[in-house]
Amino acid sequence: MLRVEPNAATLGATIHGLDLRQPMTDAEFRAVLRALGQYAVLRLPNQHLHPRDVAAFSRRFGRVQTSVSGKYHHAEAPEVGILSNIVQDGVNIGIPDAGQDWHTDMSYTATRGFINVLHAVQVPMRDGQPLGNTLFADMRAAYDALPDEWKRRIEGLTATHDFNVFWQNMVNRPGSTRPPLTPAERAKRPPATHPLVLRHPISGDRVLYCNPGYAERINGVSDAESTAMLDFLFQHQLQPRFHHAHHWQVGDLLLWDHLSTLHNAIADYTAAEPRLMHRCQVMADQVFSPEFQHQWLDAA
């Protein structure tokens, strides 16, 4: 029997009673979707999965984004990307520095990201404690905590999100090996515009959809006002009271809702402490479609 055990914080729950080597039943899928709408970050511990199982599970939620660069995907399951600091024969086996600052995946694409699915294969440990935590920030709570005046001010406004904002911040870090994007690479990822206030497709709640990783401009206001508003919103949404830290264990399958969270991968481990994650990124195409809403969310 599937059981949802909420964390003490508003964000996060553990799901017991599912073995993802088997396909979920419709009832299980509904229960996972509801839990996702309510808790946003779901941990399924002790999952012993082939990357193909990770892909099959992820596909239930929508279109899985395949790697844009064609690099770092699993040979037996191309939808599965590899995040890792492991180097074999002088070559990185995965993206070594993914997500190492606050951001929301795929906010820079016209179809936003919906969920990430990460399966922990190797977790760095030191003195019995896991390293490489992933931090989350709750954007439903952040919206709710906005002063009324700000809720009114941002209702109906949009922000432009650009992949290059995050990329360039990484390039500028001391010791970075990332080259700046070429014009051709930038052209492949044109900026996208999204409302600042989003009605969540599962919970129906309002969430603040904005993140310091990619949001670069609030539209319809002056440059100075856009900068001042973004400064306020970034500072507001990053307050520790909205945070939840996930401490990884090998075998954790973590799925999280991008529409209502930010996340940040903490790089507190060294090259001698290997970390290996298998990842599927699912786009928010199907979750906003009327058919999906009707089939999975309207019915009791």
Binding residues for ligand OGA (CB under 6 A): 83, 98-99, 105, 116, 118, 134, 263, 265, 277, 279
**How far is the C-alpha of 4 from the C-alpha of 265, rounded, in Å?**
25
Q: How far is the CB of 186 from ligand OGA (least distance, A)?
A: 20
- The residue among 105 and 257 lying less far from Mn ion, judged by its C-beta, is 105
Judged by beta carbon distances under 5 to 8 A according to partner kind, the member of ligand OGA, Mn ion, none in contact with residue 233 is none
Q: Which does 198 bind (CB under 5 to 8 A by kind): Mn ion, ligand OGA, none?
A: none
Distance between CA atoms of 105 and 192, rounded to whole angstroms? 13
Strand, coil or helix: 261 = strand
CB of 248 to ligand OGA, least distance (A): 8
For the chain, percent helix, then strand, then coil, each to nearest 5? 25, 30, 45
**Residue 124 lies near Mn ion (rule: CB under 5 A):** no
- With CB atoms as reference, the residue minimizing the distance to Mn ion is 99
120 binds, among Mn ion, ligand OGA, none (CB under 5 to 8 A by kind): none
Smallest gap from residue 195 Cβ to Mn ion (A): 21
Which residues are CB-contacts of 14 (< 8 A; sequence separation ≥ 6)? Answer: 4, 5, 7, 42, 43, 44, 45
When the beta carbons of 130 and 201 are compared against ligand OGA, the nearer one is: 130
CA pair distance 82, 105, nearest whole angstrom: 15
Among the listed residues 45, 44, 248, the one whose alpha carbon sits nearest the alpha carbon of residue 131: 248
> Which of positions 91-110 make contact with Mn ion (CB under 5 A)?
99, 105
Contact 86, 93 (CB under 8 A): yes
Query: Which lies closer to Mn ion via its Cβ, residue 38 or residue 134?
Result: 134
Based on CB atoms, which residue is closest to ligand OGA, 99 or 130?
Answer: 99
- In the bound state with ligand OGA, the residue whose beta carbon lies nearer, of 118 and 196, is 118
Contact 195, 143 (CB under 8 A): no
Residue 53 binds Mn ion (CB under 5 A): no
By beta-carbon proximity to ligand OGA, the closer residue of 49 and 83 is 83
Name the residue nearer to Mn ion (CB basis): 256 or 269: 256
- List beta partners, residue 246: 134
Number of H helices, E strands in the chain: 8, 21
List the single partner that 134 binds among Mn ion, ligand OGA, none, CB under 5 to 8 Å by kind.
ligand OGA
Which residues, at least 6 apart from 133, have a Cβ–Cβ distance to it below 8 Å? 245, 246, 247, 248, 266, 268
279 binds, among ligand OGA, Mn ion, none (CB under 5 to 8 A by kind): ligand OGA
Q: Please report whether residue 213 would count as binding Mn ion according to CB under 5 A.
A: no
Distance CA 171, CA 286 (A): 34
Q: Residue 12, interface with Mn ion (CB under 5 A)? A: no
Q: Which residues bind Mn ion (CB under 5 A)?
A: 99, 105
